[in-house]
Structure 1
Amino acid sequence: MEYTTFGRTGLRVSKLGLGGAPLGGVFGPADEREVEKMIHEAIDGGINFIDTAPSYGNGESERRIGRALSGGRRSQVVLASKAVGPGESFGYEETIRSVEQSLTRLQTEWIDLLQIHDAEHVPYETIVGETLPALQKLREEGKIRFIGISTRVLPLLLRYVRLNEFGSIQFYARYMLIDHTAKDELLPLAAENGLGVINGSVLGLGLLADTPAPFLSQAIVEEAAKRIEELHFLRRTEPFGLVEPAMRFSLSQPAIHVTLTGAATSEVLRTNMAYCDGRGLEPDKLERVYTLFQGKSLFPAE
């Protein structure tokens, strides 16, 4: 397992992190005993970063992680969660309540990194005027250590980075083989500001694993299929032949501190941990990927 320093937070984190959405059954049924076993196996394998959210399985992801860590393993991990979620107001009191509930479900007295979840759903003024002050108060009380923000909308994320009030950022499907637009402006600015960077969904919501998420539009699936055809020089096998190059693409990017794996089983977890060995794509292939889709976002303008 490789480790790095998570920006100016100073936290020492594994470059591969365990994503909490599958643990809560977001992408399909997940056996509770298997989930606990997998969390323990991840820690035993060197993963020390776990990322979750109250909206993953209506709190089930946090509850399961809390149970798995309750036997004395809490101090072995950097635990990240998020505040409120889509459809909620992100107001001051609601943010406080959300974090307090997360602390209960996670069976912990503190959360290492508390992120504002999917910031694109809330007015900028609300986040700056209410959500952020609530998190700052919780930080003063010792209930959270660092504050981050997450959204896949790059222009919005750039605006929050420039605010200089956060210790980390998280995005998804913005630095992957078929859409690496985060590297053009966001990653350099984050590095300049000393932010920890978390990259989610390096498989493009299932697109690069030949299992696209059902909620993706037909237009996106079709465009992705065209781009995937151009990556034939990377494909290892059929099917799932782009999973390894997709993981290595993110894990070897020095500006990304944590690449999340959305493993739902121990078998997938072990496979992904094997890719965290310091080997990226060959330089000529990496340059070819960058050239193919330079500046080309897969998703419509947001």
Structure 2
Amino acid sequence: MTQSRSLQRRPLGRTALTLPKLGFGAAPIGNLYRPLSEAQALATVAKALDEGIDYFDTAPHYGFGLSEQRLGSALAGRPLTLSSKVGRTLEPLESQASDQVRFGFAGGANFTPVFDYRYEAVQRQLDESARRLGRLPDIVYAHDLGPVTHGAQDGAYWQQFCTGGYRALVERKVSGDIKAIGLGVNEIGVCERALAELDLDVLLLAGRYTLLEQEALTSLLPECEARGVSVVIGGAFNSGVLATGVQVPGPHYYNYEPAPASVIKRVAALEAVCTEFAVPLPAAALQFPAAHPAVVSVIAGCASAAEVGQARAWMDEPIPAGFWATLKSRGLLSAQAPCPAGVL
């Protein structure tokens, strides 16, 4: 039986791991933006397993432990690949948290996240993740380093990680407790800094290599190829605008904010080509980054079984080769961008 395209696997860097082209992003089951019942969260994960998806990415930040806890329950005893993150310590709240949205999560666990990339903190964060997940993750990303997140404190947190948390991750990898280490960020610059200073296996880059953004082609992705560092792509829909398009009523979100007019105009142009070739815009958005040879997986955040099935269908959608050529000819895609082979 021919393997579905979305289940094709690529090796991760210089490790023994392989990842499927389509992975599961578990932020939504941590109550991202809205509460999700336990039953719905578990049904969403079950659907991913039914679809053959066996790479799940989470973080302590997602629902302040809730996403990890739910994955731990849903995936107990199953042979698959898990990734989680370090960099935030979950501190107990003195009073019971309400259902209000905190840091983007609604009605999460009764903790608040505090940035801490020190050696002892990262060791503790890993142990706490293992307790919630029922096992240590296979891949561990240092979460949200960089000036966009940390502003004037960027340098201090970077040094904290390089002299502390990074050493903790290397020790865990050398001992065999975890299999791969990297960064989980939404900034190109901090990835390039990491490649110059650290020995990493993988980068999880969110929102910076998409149908709307290809700056990573200039130096980051070639450098990853040269160094044997793999890339996992998150945020392929750029916070939603490439999932919904702009032909439906707004607001339309890009980078977690209302999309500027320039983005609205560009998405409308992408949609026009999609209409010409009868290609769903979200299918193109998911498949495009997966075509780069440095990219091993594209993770899609899903909040329901229906969303899992839709993501799988989009990743398997046949797209004509002429579609990609037309995007390039109209200046909507970098001429240097690797594209899916497409169907004739």
What TM-score bracket applies, with the shorter chain setting the length? 0.7 to 0.9
Determine if the alignment matches structure 1 residue 79 to structure 2 residue 82.
yes
Which residue among 160, 169, 173 is the counterpart of 1:135?
A: 169
Give the C-alpha shift of residue 280 in structure 1. Answer: 5.4
Which residue among 100, 103, 112 is the counterpart of 2:130?
A: 103
Could you tell which deviates more after superposition, 58-67 or 265-274?
A: 265-274
Structure 2 residue identity aligned to 1:170: L
Structure with max Cα Rg: 2
Q: Distance in 2 between matches of 1:7 and 1:274?
A: 27
Structure 2 residue identity aligned to 1:203: F
TM-score normalised to structure 1 length? 0.86
User: What does the per-residue CA deviation read over 1:205-255, in whole Å, with 9 as the maximum and x for residues that have no partner?
Assistant: 11212364498444x433321211221333359xx9521211121233332
Contact 1:248–1:281 (CA<8 Å) still a contact in 2?
Answer: no
Which residue among 26, 32, 38 is the counterpart of 1:32?
A: 38
Q: Distance in 1 between matches of 2:164 and 2:318?
A: 43
In structure 1, runs of 5+ residues without a counterpart are: 296-302
Q: Distance in 1 between matches of 2:316 and 2:271?
A: 24
Structure 1 residue identity aligned to 2:164: E
Determine if the alignment matches structure 1 residue 194 to structure 2 residue 228.
yes
Give the C-alpha shift of residue 162 in structure 1. Answer: 2.3
Taking the TM superposition and a 5 Å limit, the aligned residue runs for 1:45-60 are 45-60=51-66
What is the match of residue 263 of structure 1? 302
Determine if the alignment matches structure 1 residue 252 to structure 2 residue 299.
no
Contact 2:240–2:254 (CA<8 Å) still a contact in 1?
Answer: no
Taking the TM superposition and a 5 Å limit, the aligned residue runs for 1:1-302 are 1-70=7-76, 72-73=77-78, 75=79, 77-85=80-88, 87-108=114-135, 110-120=136-146, 121=150, 122-123=154-155, 124-210=158-244, 212-213=252-253, 216-218=256-258, 220-236=259-275, 241-277=280-316, 279=318, 282=321, 283-288=324-329, 291-292=331-332, 294=334
CA RMSD of aligned residues (A): 2.4
Structure 2 residue identity aligned to 1:64: R
Give the C-alpha shift of residue 294 in structure 1. Answer: 4.7
Contact 2:29–2:36 (CA<8 Å) still a contact in 1?
Answer: yes
Q: Distance in 1 between matches of 2:185 and 2:177?
A: 23
1:264 aligned counterpart, secondary structure: coil
Between Structure 1 and Structure 2, how many residues are aligned?
Answer: 287
In structure 2, runs of 5+ residues without a counterpart are: 1-6, 89-112, 245-250, 336-344
TM-score normalised to structure 2 length? 0.76
2:140 aligned counterpart, secondary structure: strand
Q: Distance in 2 between matches of 1:47 and 1:84?
A: 27
Give the C-alpha shift of residue 152 in structure 1. Answer: 1.6
Runs of 4+ that moved beyond 4 A: 278-281
Identical columns (%): 28
